[in-house]
Amino acid sequence: MHFDKPAGSNPIDRLKVVGQPVSRIDGPLKTTGTATYAYENRDIGGKPTYGFVLGAAIGKGRISSIDESRARAAPGVLAIVTARNAGKLGVGAFYVDRALAGPGVDHYGQAVAVVVAETFEQARAAASLLDVRYVRAHGAFDLAAAKDIAVTPRAAAFGPPPQSGIGDFAGAFAAAPVTLDETYTTPDQSHAMMEPHASIAVWQGDRLTVWCPIQQLNWGTRDLGLILGIPKENIRLLAPYIGGGFGGKGTVLADTVAAALAARAVGRPVKVALTRPLMFNSTTHRPATIQRIRIGAGRDGKITAIGHESWSGNLRGGRTEAATASTRWLYAGANRMTRLRLAVLDLAEGNAMRAPGEAPGMMTLEIAMDEMAEKLGIDPVEFRILNDTQFAPEEPQRPFSKRQLVECLRVGAERFGWRQRQSKTGAVRDGQWLVGMGAAAAIRGAPIAKSAARVRLDGQGIVTVETDMTDLGTGSYTIIAQTAAEMMGVGLDQVVVRLGDSRLPESPGSGGQWGAASATSGVYAACVKLRETVAQKLGFAAATGIEFADGHVQSGERRVPLKDAAVQGELVAEDEMTYGDLSKQYAHQTFGAHFVELGVHAFTGEIRLRRMLAVCAAGRILNPKLARSQVIGAMVMGAGAALMEELVVDPRAGCFINHDLAAYEVPVHADIPQQDVIFIDEVDDTMSPMKAKGVGELGLCGVAAAIANAVYNATGVRVRDYPITLDKFLDRLPVQV
């Protein structure tokens, strides 16, 4: 099915199942511990062996020798795989990191060897007996030190252009009566998902099967094929359940490659799970940024010039953190400039993490907007509303398909009680606590991609949906089941969903906030084809004008059970949803607003969140219960980014020293207060027949800045370097009397 004009009325609009707050159909499996994650699979074609990955102990240099004698003599050891005997290895199309170090070492923690033994404990013990000798080389580990030699990155398939501009930014900024020119920093951050990177691999001849936690299986087969030098058609990836990813499991990483190499070496299934320190230092992370934001405005508050520059670092050939993405779309302003710069750093690869680009970009832009509002003497919410636009700022001829930013801000301000906020900083006290409120806008792109599905109808009236879409705990199983149930007119108890198998019809997978809208649209397309087949089988004159409801098919006075269409055998329909040029005619984005109230202890500087509110406009909400879960989870992640999350670089060793969940702090229940989420009513008929967008990343964008702005409102102290830890402002707190 090809979607090239705005959607008209269709069966989804009935909203009997879609749009309802249905509980996750996989919930009972998750809560009873019977959902099988990659490392837990038992039906793998033989007794498993275990691989243990040894990571590089230097940040840059080369391996001069590896003495394997003691390790090979250890109990249970079956094989040791290194670059010397692994065969020629390529690099995938998405990540640039090499799967195995040797002889060069590109970063600390890069896999040096995989020791395979009969048990995990034997593999781990033997790995400690490997004697690896290194020759250290000078490495670059400090973004600030490398900033002046950063270069313009290559254009990437994802993210904004390296440079953009319209009008005369420099001239307009110089002429503006009110200006802001500030620099902000965001640190390296970890995905810190619950499920570690863990895989099981088994070979059958020249064919490879891997149980793995990969978000985009189509990328996974492609990249694993490129790395191993085998046709992607010879690879089957299985990922029915994934225990969190946040972009950190986008495609093939060290665990999957190590398991495949080890299984080939021993001729048996091999299980590999990365330890937490290796997850932090050998997989991907969100890279640190240095961002300069300049805003010029007239005294009426209208922005006349806006410029955003960002510097980040990565391995050679890696991508930049696209922090300027949101600035290109969010506010009006005739004169504009954005620039990205990339420095080569010898740290683990920086790559996609939930809302890449927008999340760190909004952490800084939305502080700058607050600072500018204060300079102008305008309420921060009203300043944002004043600079709204219904057209793409860099393409005035291109309207937004839907843009309800103003509605989000106004509804949020009313619900949150924003009028009670005191513009004078440090003015509100609650005992020994200084109380403040902060707000921020939110924006995140609304991409959609080709997606396919297969739908089956059997003689019992059971509808089975098959697609390689994945579920990271986001609710893919449920919204796909809701889509099929709505289209075929059956209850959810009559729908079976099969996901996470690369042999099933191809979806774009989970990531980029495209998963929900794309995968359900593919299911819609397949169901349209199945409806046509059913109508033909049941002898209806045409598929149009037929209602599928309550397990029956009806046209006029004739009403037939749906299952009767498959009485002579299962019916199968397969199709994909593809797209025309509507995304070029319209700017597709999601919008929102975040509001935060918090307290800062007047003497200790401790920060305690009190209330959080998110307001989101993101197309049709396919399941408000699951969407709310996504947004409050993103708000928690935003709180962590604002107040505690920071990968600390040791410039001597070139590693992240807080490489576990004891030292890398993430929010816990005690850190998170009352959370509320409001969805603004919206359907976007230019997106797809589902009229839906994604929402899971929108809920993160702007949260950290709202917290930073609330800290300023409470204390009068502006912190421009995340995370906002008390050592950065304690000595500047108002003097208490």
At 592, is the secondary structure helix, strand, or coil? strand
Query: What is the per-residue pLDDT across 296-331, written as a single tens digit (0 to 9) for each?
Result: 999 999 999 999 999 999 999 999 999 999 999 999
Return contacts of 541-548, CB within 8 angstroms, 24+ apart.
Answer: 547/489, 548/11, 548/487, 548/488, 548/489
Lowest mean pLDDT among 52-66, 146-160, 605-619, 673-687: 146-160
Q: Give the integer Cα–Cα distance in Å for 442 and 361.
A: 11
Q: How far is CA 276 from CA 51, 106, 254, 387, 550, in A?
A: 15, 20, 13, 45, 49
**Quick one: average pLDDT of 368-372?**
98
User: Is domain 289-446+588-732 classified as CATH 3.30.365.10?
Assistant: yes
Query: What is the per-residue pLDDT across 112-127, written as a single tens digit (0 to 9) for each?
Result: 999 999 999 999 999 9
**Quick one: average pLDDT of 268-293?**
97
CB-based contacts of 159: which residues, under 8 Å, 6+ apart? 319, 320, 322, 325, 356, 357
**CATH number of the domain at 47-138+192-282, please?**
3.30.365.10
Q: Give the integer Cα–Cα distance in Å for 19 and 35.
A: 26
Q: Are 655 and 108 in contact (CB under 8 A)?
A: yes
Q: Are 66 and 129 in contact (CB under 8 A)?
A: no
Query: Residue 542 has what DSSP assignment?
Result: -
Name the pLDDT band for 156 (thresholds 50, 70, 90).
confident
**Quick one: average pLDDT of 31-42?**
96
pLDDT above 80 for 398: yes
Q: 296: which 2 tokens?
A: 């010029």
Residues in the chain: 737
Name the pLDDT band for 340 (thresholds 50, 70, 90).
very high
Q: Are 685 and 588 in contact (CB under 8 A)?
A: no
CA angle 434, 405, 369 (to 5 degrees): 45
pLDDT at position 737:
62
pLDDT above 90 for 710: yes
With 0-12 CB in 10 A as exposed, 13-18 as middle and 19+ as buried, what is 229?
A: exposed
DSSP of 174-206: HH-SEEEEEEEEE--B----SS-SEEEEEEETT
**CATH number of the domain at 2-36+448-580, please?**
3.30.365.10
pLDDT above 70 for 644: yes
The region, left, alpha or beta by phi > 0 then psi within -120 to 50, assigned to residue 246 is left
pLDDT at position 158:
80
Q: 323: which 2 tokens?
A: 């922090």
pLDDT at position 641:
98
For all residues of the chain together, what is the average pLDDT? 97
Q: Are 709 and 598 in contact (CB under 8 A)?
A: no
pLDDT at position 545:
83
Q: Are 630 and 701 in contact (CB under 8 A)?
A: no
DSSP of 294-342: EEEE-TTS-EEEEEEEEEEEESTTPPPP-TTTGGGTSS--SEEEEEEEE
Query: What is the per-residue pLDDT across 594-603, written as a single tens digit (0 to 9) for each?
Result: 999 999 999 9
121 is an active site residue: no
309, 371, 576, 697: the catalytic one is 697
CA angle 655, 659, 660 (to 5 degrees): 175
Name the pLDDT band for 543 (thresholds 50, 70, 90).
low
Q: Give the integer Cα–Cα distance in Å for 592 and 702.
A: 9
Name the residue ranges covered by the structural domains of the chain.
2-36+448-580, 47-138+192-282, 289-446+588-732
Query: What is the per-residue pLDDT across 239-267, written as a single tens digit (0 to 9) for each?
Result: 999 999 999 999 999 999 999 999 999 99
**Quick one: average pLDDT of 329-350?**
98
| Phi, psi torsion values for 527, nearest 5 degrees | -70, -35
Query: What is the per-residue pLDDT across 69-109, written as a single tens digit (0 to 9) for each?
Result: 999 999 999 999 999 999 999 999 999 999 999 999 999 99
With 0-12 CB in 10 A as exposed, 13-18 as middle and 19+ as buried, what is 736?
A: exposed
Q: How far is CA 374 from CA 229, 361, 378, in A?
A: 58, 20, 6
pLDDT at position 666:
97
At 656, is the secondary structure helix, strand, or coil? strand
Reference 577, options 445, 491, 692; nearest CA is: 692
Reference 138, options 96, 105, 92; nearest CA is: 105
pLDDT above 80 for 132: yes
CB-based contacts of 444: which residues, under 8 Å, 6+ apart? 326, 355, 358, 513, 589, 590, 694, 697, 698, 701
Residue percentage of the chain with pLDDT more than 90: 98
**Quick one: average pLDDT of 279-302?**
98
DSSP of 405-425: HHHHHHHHHHHHTGGG--SST
Q: Give the integer Cα–Cα distance in Å for 286 and 347.
A: 11
**Quick one: average pLDDT of 577-602?**
97
Query: Looking at this protein, which amino acid is placed at residue 196?
Result: P
Name the pLDDT band for 210 (thresholds 50, 70, 90).
very high
**Quick one: average pLDDT of 384-412?**
97
